[in-house]
């Protein structure tokens, strides 16, 4: 029954002569399509397909021009002037101008959601001069400013204002919040066809997109949300689904890897599994308890859980908060290993006797239950009792807003959202970022804040990297996280699909950026040959 219901959502994949090419994928709900609010994986995928940005992330994290064809920076590093590319059109056919860029940044900062903290307090003014020039003035030097712009989606000002409702933003009403929760106002390669944030998002090709499409790029992409893993497996085997999410249990990846014409691919250098420790809630407010847990976890057993077969694994041991291959990775950090004696010694120094704590795992990620149960077993061996709880993602993000509601331990996969060390460190550890699912540590450490602030206001790239390495050492010493492993995000896909991320030379270490579907291809002849539906 479940498979039948899901198939009704996913539908058949066309692609015969004269028929549209449909790509079917899945992800964890909810899906957020307002560019000023999107932060998680599926929302980032939608972001990069619905909207354009001034600059875009390229292979290796290099920034490339996008809507901004060029820019200049003042000698003091405070004024950035962008030349807006001509010929970029929104989905309603109107041309994108500097006024839309100005409006979009103002809207992002006003809403104070999503990645607004990247600009709030740093941008003092944004001013369009004619249709092709926009200047952004900073309050003080901001080292990662250009990389952060890959998260500032440009909306159609006229379309948003036409559809605004009454709201708390004065003459701007609700700033189009209600409208943009179900429609898009972008200029990206795809446009929203239908959107149900808990069930399915369907996007359709925008034929007039200024950068064009690969020869057999999909005409339509159907993203089904929070579908049971067993259902996805059945659909893949029957060729009724094209690309899986990265959240399937290991045994399903293993089974799919043994299925003819299905392959596995991974995205590396983007993500780490953080076991985020709530440093404000007893008993994990005690550093010695945190040290005991970090020493007590069996990291080799974690790696065994994610090994698919002798050739494929979903990760490797992590050294710290930034994965290898991402800007700011520190190879000098110590590789963690299990040490039961050290764990018991640290626990003996704690102010808590026979501590009990809560481990909340994300319901949509079955692998996390196995990690939770392994953690529970490991902690029992050193004298810590662990209550394991299954929490839906939507509820987890709500729990993250208050320290007393945030679980003691929460497994969170976090990937870089813009190509700079600031992406991992500021959004996770700076006090101003507390209260989101990214920062469930509630660290709020003045020394860490000072180092991250200095790194942000330093222009010299080498000096910035030095400061970020210093910050990482302080963070690791505080044991605000257990770095379970550096994730290789695995996806199973039908071999007639050609995802961009299968080519290491095209690797983009930014969450969602690989999933720009205009660059993907579907081999129609091969799909027909294997009898895909």
Query: Could you read off the pLDDT of 20-36 as tens digits, one per residue?
Result: 999 999 998 888 999 99
Q: Identify the domain containing residue 145 by its residue range.
A: 52-162
Domain assignment present for 120: yes
User: Can you give the pLDDT at residue 61?
Assistant: 82
Q: Are residues 347 and 458 in the same domain?
A: yes
Q: Is residue 180 part of a domain?
A: no
- Highest mean pLDDT: which of 287-291, 312-316, 433-437? 287-291
Q: For residues 312 and 419, state if they share a domain.
A: yes
Cα separation values, 528 from 15, 134, 159, 232, 267, Å: 9, 49, 41, 21, 28
Is the pLDDT confidence value at 395 over 60?
Answer: yes
β-sheet with 68-73: strand ranges across: 68-73, 79-84, 133-138, 123-128
Are residues 205 and 60 both part of a single domain? no
If asked whether residues 408 and 482 sit together in one domain, one would say: yes
Alpha carbon distance 266, 415 (integer Å): 13
351 and 472 co-located in one domain: yes
Whether residue 291 lies inside any domain: the answer is: yes
pLDDT of residue 12: 46
pLDDT at 489: 86
Cα dist from 12 to 16, 351, 389, 515, whole Å: 12, 60, 37, 21
Please report whether residue 182 resides in a domain: no
Q: What is the per-residue pLDDT for 439?
A: 96
Q: In this prediction, what percent of the chain has a pLDDT beyond 70?
A: 96
Q: How far apart are CA 82 and CA 54, in angstroms?
A: 8
CATH number, domain containing residue 62: 3.90.76.10
Mean pLDDT of 105-126: 95
Closest by CA to 489, choosing from 306, 255, 318, is 306
Residues paired with residue 121 on neighbouring β-strands, in sequence order: none
**Average pLDDT, whole number, for the chain?**
93
pLDDT value of residue 514: 87
* Structure confidence at residue 1 (pLDDT): 34
Residue 183 is assigned to a structural domain of this protein: no
pLDDT on residue 91: 99
Distance (Å, rounded) from C-alpha 506 to C-alpha 298? 34
Do 295 and 315 fall within a single domain? yes
Number of domains in the chain: 3
Q: What is the pLDDT of residue 8?
A: 38
Q: Is the same domain home to 367 and 513?
A: no
For the residues 257-271, what does the mean pLDDT come to? 89
Residue 419 lies in a domain: yes
Averaged pLDDT, 502-519 = 88
CATH number at residue 413: 3.10.105.10
The answer to whether residues 385 and 416 belong to one domain is yes
pLDDT at residue 533, rounded to an integer: 67
Residue 144 lies in a domain: yes
Report whether pLDDT(347) > 60.
Answer: yes
Q: 363 and 273: one domain?
A: yes
Tokens of 30: 């909810």
Q: Is residue 78 part of a domain?
A: yes
Same domain, 455 and 518: no
CATH number of the CATH domain containing 37: 3.40.190.10
What's the confidence (pLDDT) of residue 5? 34
- Mean pLDDT score, 330-350: 97
User: pTM of the entire structure?
Assistant: 0.83
Whether residue 61 is found in the same domain as residue 197: no
Do 303 and 370 have their domain in common?
A: yes
Rounded Cα–Cα distance for residues 422 and 441 (Å):
17
Predicted confidence (pLDDT) at residue 10 exceeds the cutoff of 60: no
């Amino acid at each position: 029954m479940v498979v039948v219901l899901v198939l009704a959502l996913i539908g058949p994949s066309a692609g015969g002569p004269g028929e549209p090419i449909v790509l079917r994928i899945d992800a964890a709900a909810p899906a957020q399509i307002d560019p000023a609010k999107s932060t998680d994986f599926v929302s980032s995928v939608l972001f990069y397909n619905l909207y354009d940005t001034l600059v875009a992330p390229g292979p290796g994290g290099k920034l490339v021009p996008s809507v901004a064809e060029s820019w200049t920076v003042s000698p003091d590093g405070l004024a950035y002037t962008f030349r807006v590319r001509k010929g970029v059109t929104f989905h309603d056919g109107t041309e994108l101008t500097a006024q839309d860029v100005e409006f979009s940044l103002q809207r992002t900062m006003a809403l104070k959601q999503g990645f607004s903290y990247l600009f709030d307090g740093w941008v003092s003014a944004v001013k369009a001069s004619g249709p092709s020039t926009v200047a952004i003035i900073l309050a003080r030097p901001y080292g990662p400013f250009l990389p952060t712009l890959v998260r500032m989606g440009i909306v159609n000002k006229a379309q948003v204002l036409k559809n605004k409702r009454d709201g708390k933003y004065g003459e701007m009403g609700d700033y189009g919040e209600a409208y943009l929760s179900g429609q898009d106002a972008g200029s990206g390669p795809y446009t929203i066809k239908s959107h149900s944030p808990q069930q399915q998002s369907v996007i359709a090709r925008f034929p007039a997109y200024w950068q064009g499409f690969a020869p057999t790029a999909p005409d339509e992409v159907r993203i089904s949300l929070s579908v049971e893993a067993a259902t996805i497996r059945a659909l893949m085997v029957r060729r009724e689904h094209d690309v899986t999410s990265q959240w399937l249990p290991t045994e399903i990846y293993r089974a799919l890897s043994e299925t003819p014409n299905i392959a596995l691919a991974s995205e590396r250098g983007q993500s780490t599994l953080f076991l985020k420790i709530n440093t404000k809630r007893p008993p994990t407010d005690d550093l010695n308890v945190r040290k005991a847990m970090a020493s007590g976890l069996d990291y080799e057993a974690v790696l065994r859980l994610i090994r698919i077969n002798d050739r494929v694994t979903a990760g490797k041991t992590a050294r710290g908060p930034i994965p290898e291959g991402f800007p700011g990775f520190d190879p000098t950090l110590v590789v963690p290993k299990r040490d039961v004696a050290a764990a018991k010694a640290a626990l003996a120094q704690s102010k808590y006797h026979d501590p009990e704590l809560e481990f909340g795992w994300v319901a949509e990620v079955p692998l996390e239950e196995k990690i939770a149960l392994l953690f529970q077993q490991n902690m029992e061996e050193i004298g810590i009792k662990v209550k394991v709880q299954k929490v839906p993602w939507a509820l987890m993000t709500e729990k993250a807003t208050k320290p007393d509601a945030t679980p003691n331990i929460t497994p969170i996969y976090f990937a870089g959202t813009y190509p700079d060390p600031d992406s991992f460190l500021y959004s996770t550890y700076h006090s101003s970022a507390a209260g989101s699912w990214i920062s469930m540590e509630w660290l709020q450490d003045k020394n860490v804040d000072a180092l991250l602030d200095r790194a942000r206001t330093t222009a010299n790239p080498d000096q910035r990297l030095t400061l970020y390495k210093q910050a990482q050492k302080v963070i690791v010493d505080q044991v605000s996280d257990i770095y379970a492993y550096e994730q290789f995000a695995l996806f199973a896909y039908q071999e007639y699909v050609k995802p961009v991320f299968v080519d290491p030379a095209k690797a983009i270490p930014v969450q969602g950026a690989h999933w720009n579907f205009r660059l993907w291809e579907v081999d129609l002849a091969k799909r027909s040959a294997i009898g895909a539906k």
